[in-house]
Amino acid sequence: MKKTITFAVALALSSASLAAHANKLELRGSINYGYSQQADERIEFSQATYLIEVSQQANMPLVYAASSWGQYKDAIEQVTVSIKDAAGNDIIVNQPITVAAELTPLANTFYFDQGRYTDFVSWTLNGVTAAGMNSQTKLNLQGPRESFLASTAEFPRFISNPRYVNATLTSSVETAAGTSLLYLQGPVTSIQEATLDSDGDGVLDDLDSCPGTDARATVVVGSNDSGVTNSVDAAGCSIADHVKACFAEANNHGDAVSCVSHLAKELRQAGTINGRDQGQLLRSL
């Protein structure tokens, strides 16, 4: 029974990791040149800093993946932009149109390409507003190979402090009064994956294989407090979560005890608990 239970737990962990992604990315950098224009009003800005927030959909199915590139559809919910001038004052700019509130998306994708010398990613959101106006938003990032994307094994992950990465954002909406434009270009200084940690276990939701972590200070089995420190692993699962998984998958109490016994042995061998903890955990069953 041990092998069946262990496999079920491992399968649950791997399935969660394959769906991992960031809910929001915060891109910070400086502007070499940019402008915001609506009708006859045009605001130009240079020597300014920007914060671009890319809110992503909760689920991004893979459209195509090869050895070097991939594209995700229905990727974006919203792109927002905050700009400060050299003195730190806010510059009011026209915001790109969002998906949920105003836009019928015709193209809504996240694309990445790992080339031989450079990494390239692009968010594209093109569609039509409720008033029948065309809307186009594109955010491109490009930087040196292996200094930009930290991983593409799951959903692509970014290096927090990338080197020499340039951003270009263009957003336009064709309106009755003319075309509203937002454009900026400049280097990225930081990329922050601003994902929540809903269960407070120290592991972000997009990496958490146990989203409802039992985070009590000690491992409690039923009504028995083992007194063993209830540590959380890198996947966001506490010892108590693993114990509960043993009981959930067991056909009877004996199978559950066998599973927890093997779990305790593995935790001791890994140095997560000591021999005394191992005994206390088993006595609480």
At 197 the pLDDT is: 67
Query: CA 93, CA 80: separation in Å to the nearest integer?
Result: 10
Which run of H or E residues covers position 11? helix 2-18
At 4 the pLDDT is: 38
At 196 the pLDDT is: 64
Residue type at 141 in one-letter notation:
L
Whole-number average pLDDT of the chain: 83
CA distances from 61 to 176, 205, 218, 260 (A): 36, 18, 38, 36
For the cut 50, the answer to whether the pLDDT of residue 67 exceeds it is: no
Residue 186: pLDDT band with limits 50, 70, 90: very high
Query: CA 255, CA 269: separation in Å to the nearest integer?
Result: 21
Q: Positive or negative, the Cα torsion across 91, 94, 100, 101?
A: positive
Pairing assessment for the beta strands 76-84 and 69-73 based on DSSP bridges: unpaired
pTM of the model: 0.64
Tell me the domain boundaries of the chain: 2-13+198-283, 23-193
Q: For residues 222 and 271, is the Cβ–Cβ distance under 8 A?
A: no
Query: CA 157, CA 25: separation in Å to the nearest integer?
Result: 10
CA distances from 221 to 8, 85, 96, 160 (A): 20, 57, 51, 40
For the cut 60, the answer to whether the pLDDT of residue 62 exceeds it is: no
Digit-coded pLDDT (tens) for 10-56: 323 333 333 445 578 899 999 999 999 988 889 999 889 999 999 88
Q: Positive or negative, the Cα torsion across 93, 43, 110, 129?
A: positive
Residue 59: pLDDT band with limits 50, 70, 90: low
Mean pLDDT of 101-124: 86
Digit-coded pLDDT (tens) for 170-182: 999 998 888 999 9
Digit-coded pLDDT (tens) for 233-271: 888 899 999 999 999 989 999 998 999 999 999 999 989
Query: What residues pair up with 229 in beta bridges, in sequence order?
Result: 218
Which run of H or E residues covers position 187? strand 178-193
